[in-house]
Copies of this chain bind each other. A is one copy, B any other.
Amino acid sequence: MTDHSDSQSGTTRRDVLRASMMAGAAASLWPASMALATSPHHDAIRAAALANREADIARIQDWIRLPSIAAENLNMPDGAEYMAEMIREVGFTDVEIVATDGHPGVFGLMDNGAERTLGIYFMYDVKQFDPSEWRSHPIEAHIVEVDGFGRAIMGRGAVNQKGPEATFLAALRAMRDAGVAPPVNLVFVAEGEEEIASPNFHQILARPHIRDAFARAEGVFMPSASQGANGEVTVNLGAKGAVELEIVSSGESWGRGPTHDIHSSLNPIVDSPAWRLVNALNTLTTDMGNRPAVDGWYENVRALTDRERALAVGWARRADETALMSALGVSHWVDDMDFEDAIVRLAQEPSINIQGLVGGYTGPGGKTILPHRAVAKIDLRLVPNQTREEAERKLRAHLDAAGYPDIEVNVSGGYGPTETAEDSRLIQSQLAAYSALGVETAINPRVAGSWPGVTFTAPPLSKPAGHFGMGYGTGAHAPNEYFVIEPTREGIAGITDATMSYVEMLYQLASAA
Contact = CB atoms under 8 A, between A and B. Distances in A.
A268 B290 contact: yes
A450 interface: yes
Contact of A7 (B256, B365, B367): B367
The interface size bin for chain A is 35 or more
A259 B62 CA distance: 38
Interface in A272-291: 272, 274-279, 281-282, 285, 288-290
Which of A17, A71, A256, A350: most chain B CB closer than 10 A? A256
Interface string A309-324: 0000000000000000
Interface string A249-261: 0010001111111
Given A257-B330, A266-B328, A366-B355, A278 B282 contact: yes
A372 interface: yes
Interface stretch (A30-38, A92-100, A200-208, A374-382): A374-382
A496 interface: no
Contacts of A364: 71
A366 B477 CA distance: 12
A265 B449 contact: yes
A412 interface: yes
Given A267-B381, A275-B354, A282-B279, A258 B330 contact: yes
A359 B360 contact: no
B268 A448 contact: yes
A265 B354 contact: no
Given A359-B356, A370-B353, A328 B290 contact: no
A275 B256 CA distance: 26
Which of A261, A265, A377: most chain B CB closer than 10 A? A265
Contacts of A262: 6, 8, 17, 328-329
A267 B289 contact: yes
A357 B354 contact: no
A7 B278 CA distance: 23
Contact of A372 (B258, B270, B329, B365): B329
A366 B275 CA distance: 22
Interface string A335-360: 00100001101101111111111111
20 contacts: A8-B261, A21-B265, A71-B364, A197-B366, A240-B265, A244-B365, A251-B329, A256-B330, A256-B332, A264-B379, A266-B328, A270-B328, A271-B334, A272-B289, A354-B374, A355-B371, A357-B360, A362-B362, A367-B477, A368-B449
Closest 5 CB pairs of A and B: A275-B289, A259-B329, A356-B360, A265-B448, A356-B361
Given A240-B265, A258-B329, A270-B334, 20 more contacts: A6-B263, A7-B261, A71-B364, A255-B331, A257-B330, A264-B379, A265-B447, A265-B448, A266-B448, A269-B346, A271-B289, A271-B334, A272-B288, A279-B288, A355-B366, A357-B359, A357-B374, A358-B358, A361-B377, A367-B477
